[in-house]
């Protein structure tokens, strides 16, 4: 059985939501192949990576069940997929961020196609996207909806939206939640005193993690932070961490942001008195874990999320979450987050003040969030995805 995976995003240097999703599943597959090789008996997985990733993938071994090949990440790669699929003749093709557009024009009926949908953000706020980006998202989602044998939705909310918008039977859409992974989450899970130490070691900042893009509602996040009364939390900092996708992501508040090169520069900047807004480029691994763990809160301000991986990551590290009052955030966080109207900066300011001004309430939210994060596991996500792909290959 051969499974071809569009793994280009897994090897991106800067990993936010979807890139992290693909990378996490491949990482867990590798671990599973070592621990339970019988799961991969008769299965050969071909990972197609971006050609630009060849230099840092090098001769890395992915195990006997895996093979890495290369394809361009540009729009011109679409014709390449025709030749790849014709040559590989896989039983299953998986598009972790949707099917390539070649499937819109060519059905490849003998290949079972599975696509993951991370949400329909483009449909909720189309004006936030450049025309070509909007068109690309629309076409990829349409192609995935119409050509996939099965669709993986990262939340029940996304499942419902896909079924309604594209008139799909719910049975074609299977919900597999994203997982949670941090560099030291296993140690935190084993050590109750460590969790208490984390709470005592919090620094005086709140953090946003993700792309710097207009649709992420960062302008309102900044407005809410600036709306805090001057005598309340006077030294609280706001840290924005992620790659800049739109230069005007902050709107009229752009001049209030101090851009720093890395997390080392942030360490020094946090000691400055008064309120400040800092932006650092994307960070990962242990640095990202420390950034989350030392924050007093994570803020999720977007009007729309397909899942919101950062919520689970923060909660696993005892960092409470302040989230926009939208269906997906309720699905992921349950009652373990503090919610606010994402159209109302004053409501966000009030939520920040409520959480950070009452230590008893703060500790309770941190512990509730930690317990909630246990619902999500990349190991489970990876195994459920593998099982789906194998099952798809066996269907007629």
pLDDT of residue 285: 80
Is the backbone of residue 376 left (phi > 0), alpha (psi -120 to 50) or beta? Answer: beta
pLDDT in tens, 366-391: 999 999 999 999 999 999 999 999 99
pLDDT of residue 130: 83
Q: Which of 373, 379, 247 is nearest to 312 (CA)?
A: 373
CA pair distance 152, 154, nearest whole angstrom: 6
Is the backbone of residue 251 left (phi > 0), alpha (psi -120 to 50) or beta? Answer: left
CB 152 within 8 A of CB 176: yes
Q: Which two tokens stand for residue 126?
A: 């189309």
Residues of the chain with pLDDT under 50: 187
As a CATH number, domain 185-373 is 3.40.50.2000
Task: Give me the residue spans of the domains in the chain.
Answer: 2-179+377-394, 185-373
pLDDT in tens, 171-228: 899 999 999 875 555 545 556 666 777 888 899 999 999 989 888 999 999 999 999 9
Cβ count near 396 (within 10 Å): 3
Predicted TM-score (pTM) of the model is 0.89
Which single residue is written with the structure tokens 């789906």?
A: 388
pLDDT of residue 59: 55
CA pair distance 368, 327, nearest whole angstrom: 19
Distance between terminal CA atoms of the chain?
14
Q: What is the DSSP code (8-state) at residue 86?
A: H
* CATH domain 2-179+377-394 topology: Rossmann fold (3.40.50)
> Is the CA virtual torsion 320, 357, 269, 230 positive or negative?
positive
Whether 185-373 and 2-179+377-394 are alike in CATH topology: the answer is yes
Helix (H, G, I), strand (E, B) or coil at 138: helix
CA atoms within 13 A on the CB side of 353: 16
Helices 309-316 and 359-373 sit at what angle, rounded to 10 degrees? 110
Is residue 83 exposed (0-12), middle (13-18) or buried (19+ Cβ within 10 Å)? exposed
pLDDT of residue 42: 93
Let me know how many helices (H) and strands (E) the chain has, helices first.
Answer: 17, 14
């Amino acid at each position: 059985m051969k499974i071809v995976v569009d793994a280009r995003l897994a090897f991106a240097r800067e990993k936010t939501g979807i890139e992290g999703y693909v990378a996490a599943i491949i990482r867990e597959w590798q671990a599973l192949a070592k621990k339970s090789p019988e799961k991969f008996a008769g299965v050969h997985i071909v990972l197609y990576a971006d050609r630009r990733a060849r230099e840092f993938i090098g001769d890395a071994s992915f195990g006997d069940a895996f093979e890495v090949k290369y394809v361009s990440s540009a729009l011109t790669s679409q014709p390449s997929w025709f030749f790849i699929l014709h040559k590989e003749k896989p039983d299953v093709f998986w598009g972790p961020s949707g099917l390539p557009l070649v499937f819109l024009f060519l059905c490849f009926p003998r290949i079972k196609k599975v696509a993951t949908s991370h949400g329909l953000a483009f449909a909720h706020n189309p004006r936030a996207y450049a025309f070509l980006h909007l068109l690309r998202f629309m076409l990829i989602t349409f192609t995935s909806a119409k050509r996939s044998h099965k669709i993986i939705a990262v939340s029940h909310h996304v499942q419902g939206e896909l079924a309604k918008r594209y008139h799909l039977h719910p049975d074609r859409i299977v919900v597999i939640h994203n997982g949670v992974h941090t560099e030291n989450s296993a140690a935190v899970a084993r050590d109750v005193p460590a969790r208490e130490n984390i709470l005592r070691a919090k620094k005086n900042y709140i953090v946003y993690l993700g792309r710097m893009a207009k649709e992420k509602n960062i302008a309102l996040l900044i407005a809410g932070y600036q709306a805090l009364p001057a005598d309340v939390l006077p030294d609280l900092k706001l840290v924005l961490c992620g790659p800049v996708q739109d230069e005007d992501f902050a709107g009229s508040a752009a001049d209030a942001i101090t851009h720093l090169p890395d997390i080392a520069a942030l360490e020094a900047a946090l000691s400055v008195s008064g309120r400040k807004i800092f932006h650092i480029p994307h960070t990962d691994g242990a640095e990202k874990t420390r950034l989350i763990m030392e924050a007093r809160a994570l803020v999720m301000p977007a009007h729309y999320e397909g899942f919101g991986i950062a919520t689970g990551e923060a909660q696993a590290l005892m960092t409470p979450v302040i989230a926009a009052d939208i269906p997906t955030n309720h699905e992921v966080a349950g009652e373990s987050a503090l919610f606010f109207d994402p159209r109302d900066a004053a409501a966000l300011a009030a939520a920040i003040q409520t959480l950070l001004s009452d230590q008893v309430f703060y500790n309770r939210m941190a512990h509730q969030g930690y317990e909630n994060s246990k619902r999500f596991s990349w190991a489970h996500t990876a195994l459920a995805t593998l099982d789906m792909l194998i099952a798809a290959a066996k269907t007629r």
